[in-house]
């Protein structure tokens, strides 16, 4: 009997996202081809890709609003982390690129979408560490530190950031797994303020959209979905992060005992949490909102629930009424 081919024998499978074979080969689903950077003909937004760290392959896609290119205009900076359950997605995927084109055009901000490494080839916490390194790279462009950016090992200086970034108005944002990452980097920045690591940036707001949090204990409707679903969530987390203690890992559950109350140290003056009524992650998003308010975090925490909608609906149907409602709330949050 012929030996099984490790390149076709499945080791782990998590539909509809990813399959890994015993050879290590990874097959991704629901993962469309990336869109190129350039000038968006509909919005007039200009984008480009820049290398952040050649050693790890970390890069970012920058977006400038119409009329800004070539002018010395100071703009709020939105550092954005894409979703995809840590296994799919990109700063250049159609949903992220199209969403940020519209956001940048309407809000008049400079957006930096960071491209972190994906699991399982790069197990967690690689995506979190890449995202933190990306934020530090952005911070080296703050006016007070731009001249010393190369000296602190933050990567090459990017003219769009030095010429257009207003580092007294910085926002951290992310959707799904990117929302979880945005929380993580906001906490880490808060813990290291005053130690020079964020180089004088002022983080005004944290935007958490349909976040991908979890936990060993059931909350909300999780207890009605059965033990099998919780077991699947735990298996997927361990697939992403071999050696992790499980769903109460602080990277998954920011209010677990192991997290040590770190959530209260979020480096943002206000937080907006967006959830969708029909999203399986809806209860965790509301739990995050309520837990952050009760954590001792001193800033303002807001919640927007989109009735009748599912996960990341605003990317799939950006012209629907609820997507427009959410857009207006996000624009108000950025302009406040």
Residues marked active site are found at: 176, 279, 311
For 6-47, the DSSP string reads TTTSEEEEETTTEEEETTS-EEESS-PPPPPPSB-TTT--EE
Question: Where do the H-state alpha helices sit in the chain?
Answer: 94-107, 126-139, 159-164, 177-192, 227-240, 282-293, 313-316, 321-335
For 90-103, the DSSP string reads -TTSHHHHHHHHHH
Four-residue CA torsion sign, 92, 94, 97, 100: negative
Residue 280 CA, distance from chain mean position: 18
Burial class (CB in 10 A: 0-12, 13-18, 19+), 11: middle
What's the token pair of residue 192?
């290291």
Each residue of 136-150: b (16+ CB within 10 Å) or e?
bbbbbbbeebbeebe
Separation between Cα atoms, residue 68 and residue 256, nearest integer Å: 44
In angstroms, the Cα distances linking 99 to 156, 272, 315 are: 27, 17, 7
Separation between Cα atoms, residue 251 and residue 243, nearest integer Å: 13
For residue 54, the tally of other CB atoms under 10 A from its CB is 10
Cβ contacts of residue 336 below 8 Å, gap of 6+?
205, 270
CB contact at 8 A, 176 and 84: yes
Separation between Cα atoms, residue 170 and residue 167, nearest integer Å: 6
Helices 177-192 and 126-139: crossing angle in degrees, nearest 10, is 60
């Amino acid at each position: 009997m012929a030996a099984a081919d490790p390149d076709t024998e499945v080791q782990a499978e998590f539909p509809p996202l990813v399959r890994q074979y015993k050879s290590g080969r990874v097959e991704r689903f629901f993962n469309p081809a990336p869109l190129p950077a350039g000038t968006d003909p509909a919005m007039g937004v200009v984008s480009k890709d820049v290398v952040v760290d050649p050693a790890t392959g970390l890069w970012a896609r920058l977006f400038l609003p119409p009329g800004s290119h070539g002018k010395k205009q100071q703009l709020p900076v939105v550092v954005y982390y894409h979703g995809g359950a840590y296994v799919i997605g990109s700063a250049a995927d159609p949903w992220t690129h199209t969403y940020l084109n519209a956001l940048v055009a309407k809000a008049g901000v400079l957006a930096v979408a960071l491209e972190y490494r994906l699991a399982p080839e790069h197990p967690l916490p690689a995506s979190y560490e890449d995202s933190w390194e990306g934020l530090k790279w952005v911070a080296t462009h703050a006016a007070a530190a731009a001249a010393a950016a190369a000296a602190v090992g933050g990567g090459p200086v990017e003219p769009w950031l030095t010429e257009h970034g207003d580092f007294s108005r910085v926002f951290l944002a992310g959707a799904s797994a990117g929302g979880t990452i945005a929380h993580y980097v906001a906490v880490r920045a808060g813990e290291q303020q005053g130690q020079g690591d964020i180089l004088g940036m002022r983080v005004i707001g944290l935007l958490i959209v349909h976040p991908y949090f979890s936990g060993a204990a059931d909350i909300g409707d999780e207890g009605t979905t059965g033990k099998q679903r919780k077991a699947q969530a735990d298996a997927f987390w361990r697939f992403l992060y071999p050696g992790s203690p499980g769903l109460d890992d602080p990277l998954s559950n920011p209010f677990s005992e192991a997290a040590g109350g770190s959530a209260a140290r979020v480096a943002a003056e206000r937080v907006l949490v967006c959830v969708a009524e029909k999203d399986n992650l809806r209860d965790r998003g509301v739990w995050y909102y309520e837990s952050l308010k009760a954590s001792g975090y001193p800033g303002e925490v807001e919640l927007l629930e989109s009735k009748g909608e599912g996960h990341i609906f605003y990317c799939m149907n950006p012209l629907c009424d609820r997507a427009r409602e959410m857009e207006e709330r996000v624009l108000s949050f950025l302009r406040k």
